[in-house]
């Protein structure tokens, strides 16, 4: 018998390195990135319904009202794509419990798409081959394949080509979210403006970063963290400089913007240090501060009812 509902989760991503090349003819930018999945998750629950509907739940500080509840929601697009491929004609009620900042540069929408793919695969008992799910994921968005795979991985192409990386140990991060998101396409456009005429090179992954991850050398990792989108996002949201500086003053080992922002990330030496840095940032008046460990696994089914 088919289940009456399925709940799946998928993690947020951070980019330990985000190298961006010159804009391609299709409007995307070539990337060389190192993704890490961290323990902030969204949960997606799917159940058969007479018509398609989406409900969003979670902490109000996460700008939930910015998430569309119509057919443009990426979870609906993911479910419809899988349904079309499998010849399923059922409508769904989709509930999304957000734990990942909305429009925060942490791939929350991509996590919802990845969780929806695995949830619908279980609900409709399709047993879609893994490679096929990853292919569908790349149609939905550049970060969706990584949300399926999780862990720590190198991303190339427009971010959709994902190869797992050799990494030792756990990494502790403080994440400072923002109540107002940044639009990823707008940050990339600002990147193009700043890069205008500079003749930027094709992006690559620095050897020191991969060595730091293989040997769990936190000092070396802190020095290797880099995000090519940071100058563009800081121009659009100058106050983010203050967040990054405050985290370092609060003894974080390293600081960088997450993806296209505006979430800011702080590398810490362990869970106690992360709590201490988080406490300092909260005392400094920064709102949505959380502690997250990486790497964690990708999208997975949590419960079937």
Write out the residues near ligand C5P by the rule CB under 6 A. Answer: 27-29, 31, 141-143, 158-159, 184-185, 188
- Output the smallest distance, CB 248 to ligand C5P, in A: 28
Torsion of CA 114, 118, 124, 130, to 10 degrees: 110
CB-wise, 110 or 152, nearer to ligand C5P? 110
Distance CA 267, CA 173 (A): 5
Q: How far apart are CA 40 and CA 277, in angstroms?
A: 18
Residue (144 or 253) nearer to ligand C5P, CB: 144
Angstrom distance (rounded) from CA 21 to CA 18: 10
d(CA 277, CA 272): 9
Q: Which is closer to ligand C5P, CB of 27 or CB of 270?
A: 27
Taken in order 178, 241, 152, 133, the sign of the CA dihedral is positive
Comparison of 124 and 191: residue with beta carbon closer to ligand C5P: 191
Residue 12 bridge partners (DSSP): 38
Q: How many CA atoms lie within 13 A of 186 on its CB side?
A: 12
Question: How far apart (Å, rounded) are the C-alpha atoms in residues 13 and 294?
Answer: 9
The DSSP bridge partners found for residue 257 are 264
CB 301 to ligand C5P: min, Å: 24
Nearer to ligand C5P, 31 or 209 (CB): 31
Residue whose CB is less far from ligand C5P, 52 or 188: 188
Q: Tokens for 132?
A: 């096929």
Task: Say whether 220 is catalytic.
Answer: no
How is residue 4 written in tokens?
A: 């009456």
**Judging by DSSP bridges, how do beta strands 91-98 and 53-58 pair with one another?**
parallel
> CB of 232: closest distance to ligand C5P in angstroms?
11
Report the nearest approach of ligand C5P to the CB of residue 269 (Å).
Answer: 32
Q: Which helix (H) or strand (E) holds 239?
A: helix 239-249
Catalytic residue among 42, 97, 121, 143: 143
Strands of 50-136, DSSP E: 53-58, 91-98
Between CA 40 and CA 224 the distance in angstroms is 23
| Residues contacting residue 300 through CB under 8 Å, at least 6 positions apart | 8, 9, 10, 118
Question: Has 13 been annotated as catalytic?
Answer: yes
Of 13, 42, 97, 112, the active-site residue reads: 13
- Give min distance, CB of 298 to ligand C5P, in A: 17
Q: To the nearest whole angstrom, how small is the minimum distance from the Cβ of residue 219 to ligand C5P?
A: 30
Active site residues: 13, 143
């Amino acid at each position: 018998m088919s289940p009456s509902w399925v709940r799946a989760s998928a993690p947020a991503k951070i980019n330990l390195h985000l190298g961006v090349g010159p804009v391609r003819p299709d409007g995307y930018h070539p990337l060389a990135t190192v993704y890490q999945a961290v323990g902030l998750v969204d949960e997606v629950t799917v159940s058969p319904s007479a018509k398609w509907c989406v409900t969003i739940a979670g902490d109000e500080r996460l700008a939930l009202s910015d998430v569309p509840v119509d057919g443009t929601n990426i979870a609906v697009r993911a479910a419809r794509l899988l349904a079309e491929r499998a010849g399923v004609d059922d409508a769904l009620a989709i509930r999304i419990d957000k734990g990942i900042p909305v429009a925060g540069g942490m791939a929350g929408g991509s996590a919802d798409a990845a969780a929806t793919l695995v949830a619908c695969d279980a609900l409709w008992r399709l047993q879609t081959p893994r490679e096929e799910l990853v292919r569908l994921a790349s149609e939905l968005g550049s970060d969706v394949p990584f949300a399926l795979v999780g862990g720590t991985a190198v991303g190339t192409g427009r971010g959709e080509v994902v190869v797992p990386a050799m990494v030792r140990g756990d990494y502790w991060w403080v994440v400072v979210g923002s109540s107002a998101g940044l639009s990823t396409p707008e940050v990339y456009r600002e990147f193009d403006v700043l890069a205008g005429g500079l003749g930027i090179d094709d992006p690559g992954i620095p050897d020191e970063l991969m060595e730091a991850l293989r040997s769990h050398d936190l000092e070396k990792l802190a020095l290797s963290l880099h995000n090519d989108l940071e100058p563009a996002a800081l121009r659009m949201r100058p106050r983010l400089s203050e967040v990054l500086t405050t985290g370092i003053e609060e003894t974080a080992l390293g600081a960088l913007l997450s993806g296209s922002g505006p979430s800011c990330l702080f590398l810490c030496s362990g869970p106690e240090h992360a709590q201490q840095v988080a406490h300092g940032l909260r005392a400094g008046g920064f709102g949505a501060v959380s502690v997250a460990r990486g790497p964690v696994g990708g999208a997975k089914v949590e419960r079937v009812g």
